[in-house]
Structure 1
């Protein structure tokens, strides 16, 4: 009789404990599916909750594109042989006489290094005077100097070479191996060649972004796109600023995943499946594969296409991915994660039930310990 009474008392205790636990908030990773759906505009919430399908994927995949405008793409290469004010030239003058105008006795040539093109575009050459250099090629300057010296020394031979100067230059900074100011020369008239002259990039090419600032124009592109599309290897202009930096986009992973963290993009594009893989996938013990959510603030234009009605301003959108559906994995594979997204995985109902049972069992064990101690 006592044993039956004890069993009944324990059963009552279990029911009471489960009721108490059900009324209390057990520890969990975040809201469950019902609580998220309760925030839908259909239930007087302020978020649009949408199940991901092919139509939603096609609309939601739209993202701000990186690339160069027509102004950058259509600019032709600067003639690297055209001399500009501020450039530096090197001259070598040969004379066919023993006692020449410029050549020292016993030698057949004289070298004039570091001949600076002045602000008006002229250089000074002894016995030739002021020579117009800016706007001319080294070959044209060679002919001008030769003509001016030929009246004073027989058959002079002149060689003109362009040296690195502070005329047409670009600055290269950021995640490159040799930051600095570089002249635009024949081998470095395009973006790829200039980056190579700066020692190449110093970050993973998959996450490198290259920005070119030209006056009031600004354009950005992924480094890999410079090679995937040769047209992106734009011609440079005097004063261009080239900045290389690592991709700063991130998404946040929360809930029943392998790890909960703010995660950087490892590639230019990333799908929902890849995002989950980056954080260790779904927790095999507590995750609900029918409750994978992506929280995002969508621009007005995209939100209107998604819901098929006129809206005003940025809208809160919750995308629902059910990995257990026949095409669920494909939908998640095709869903593009964007900068600032929050990927959240809910706990399975069984996980919460297990917590309730565990908590109840612990409570009953505590009651039994008290009974054993008091002799009841």
Structure 2
């Protein structure tokens, strides 16, 4: 009768137990591969997250910081060596022309010099061109040219920066890190900051820290580049007998199972089974082949990694096992907890039933 009552009861639980998870193995009723984590599995499963710039971005040559481009604006100051020059007034021998925009064909218009090609020249080269054209009408003119801001070569910077905006590429800001500094720097923790650079159809991402660890990633910028600075968006889920049930965002480039559990308060000391820490993951075929030691695997595979923290090297295995984006970490309850809950439920049921019988007998006596 007790066994019948036990089987009839639906026991409350925080999730599946070890046996129920193992029943989902390909060796039993399911389609998941159950894998115990060891040194070999760690080496096969801990595939580094590939982030970096493509050869197209890394091989781009450094731009001439003072090269004038279509859309830029330039300013001219012309000094003449005659009392009454072409541009100078009676009070001053110098004339300043500001905000001369380079048109769509690459020219600017300078009085008495006409249309002058500016695009592709440096300010020094443009100075010489204008001086030669004015020299035909005024003796030995002295010309000063400066390139001011314009949209000829600009970069858009958005996201977690001190000052988002559109910035011109000038000599001090021809590389990515210099441009980030010009925009006020990054305002989020550097260890979890991701930089995305969009150039035409190319969209590449890199860790901010890698820009400093690997100088070759500090790419040369191009006009029209769009740069996004954001917090790492990878997440994992923790469920079961832990300090909290949560969807957690990564706070570093590499996160191990031990660190992930620590972020939610660790294992619940009153409920958790330290031999039953499971990591559920969909693995690509190439990783699954290495983990399982099988070459007949095709397509993504469901893998359940098992961590036994009570094993002699269990804590080391968990410390070395890396969590990835989309992982689900589940900690089973200890069998004693399940048993105690079952007994408590049955005891409560029997007490209620006993009370009902007692009430019925009392009513019969009446």
Whether TM exceeds 0.5 here: the answer is yes
Shift in Å, 1:30: 0.9
Asked if residue 128 in structure 1 is aligned to residue 122 in structure 2, the reply is no
Q: Provide the C-alpha distance between the structure 1 equivalents of 2:250 and 2:348, rounded to a whole number of angstroms.
A: 43
Q: Secondary structure at the match of 2:35?
A: strand
Greater CA deviation, 78-87 or 278-287? 78-87
Q: Provide the C-alpha distance between the structure 2 equivalents of 1:306 and 1:106, rounded to a whole number of angstroms.
A: 85
Q: Secondary structure at the match of 1:140?
A: helix
Match of 1:118 in 2: 103
Q: Tell me, yes or no, if the aligned pair for 1:18 and 1:360 is still in contact at 8 Å.
A: no
Q: Provide the C-alpha distance between the structure 2 equivalents of 1:141 and 1:214, rounded to a whole number of angstroms.
A: 29
Match of 1:198 in 2: 183
Give deviations 1:10-35, integer Å, cap 9, x for gaps: xxxxxx55752354231111111111
Match of 1:7 in 2: none
Structure-to-structure mapping, 1:63-212, within 5 angstroms: 63-212=48-197
Q: Provide the C-alpha distance between the structure 2 equivalents of 1:326 and 1:262, rounded to a whole number of angstroms.
A: 30
Alignment partner of 1:214 out of 174, 186, 199: 199
Give deviations 1:184-226, integer Å, cap 9, x for gaps: 1112211112222333334333332211111222211122222
TM-score (normalised: structure 2)? 0.92
Q: Provide the C-alpha distance between the structure 1 equivalents of 2:143 and 2:29, rounded to a whole number of angstroms.
A: 85
Asked if residue 36 in structure 1 is aligned to residue 11 in structure 2, the reply is no
Match of 2:311 in 1: 325
Q: Provide the C-alpha distance between the structure 2 equivalents of 1:141 and 1:348, rounded to a whole number of angstroms.
A: 80
Alignment partner of 1:282 out of 264, 267, 270: 267
Q: Tell me, yes or no, if the aligned pair for 1:173 and 1:180 is still in contact at 8 Å.
A: yes
Match of 2:322 in 1: 336
Match of 2:38 in 1: 53
Shift in Å, 1:367: 5.7
Q: Tell me, yes or no, if the aligned pair for 1:17 and 1:360 is still in contact at 8 Å.
A: no
Match of 1:228 in 2: 213
Q: Provide the C-alpha distance between the structure 1 equivalents of 2:120 and 2:21, rounded to a whole number of angstroms.
A: 68
Greater CA deviation, 148-157 or 125-134? 148-157
Q: Secondary structure at the match of 1:245?
A: strand
Asked if residue 352 in structure 1 is aligned to residue 338 in structure 2, the reply is yes
Q: Tell me, yes or no, if the aligned pair for 1:98 and 1:106 is still in contact at 8 Å.
A: no
Shift in Å, 1:371: 7.4
Shift in Å, 1:102: 1.2
Asked if residue 247 in structure 1 is aligned to residue 232 in structure 2, the reply is yes
Give deviations 1:136-162, integer Å, cap 9, x for gaps: 111111112222223433332211110
Greater CA deviation, 20-29 or 340-349? 20-29
Instruction: Provide the aligned length of Structure 1 versus Structure 2.
Output: 361
Q: Provide the C-alpha distance between the structure 2 equivalents of 1:371 and 1:297, rounded to a whole number of angstroms.
A: 54
Shift in Å, 1:372: 7.2
Q: Secondary structure at the match of 1:362?
A: helix
Asked if residue 294 in structure 1 is aligned to residue 286 in structure 2, the reply is no
CA RMSD, Structure 1 to Structure 2 (Å): 2.1
- Long gaps (5+) in structure 1: 1-15
Shift in Å, 1:176: 3.0
Shift in Å, 1:368: 6.1
Q: Secondary structure at the match of 1:239?
A: coil
Give deviations 1:302-356, integer Å, cap 9, x for gaps: 1112222211211110000000111111111111111111000000011111112
Q: Secondary structure at the match of 2:30?
A: coil
Q: Tell me, yes or no, if the aligned pair for 1:68 and 1:220 is still in contact at 8 Å.
A: yes
Q: Tell me, yes or no, if the aligned pair for 1:17 and 1:363 is still in contact at 8 Å.
A: no
Q: Secondary structure at the match of 1:352?
A: helix
Shift in Å, 1:171: 1.9
Q: Provide the C-alpha distance between the structure 2 equivalents of 1:318 and 1:25, rounded to a whole number of angstroms.
A: 26
- Long gaps (5+) in structure 2: none
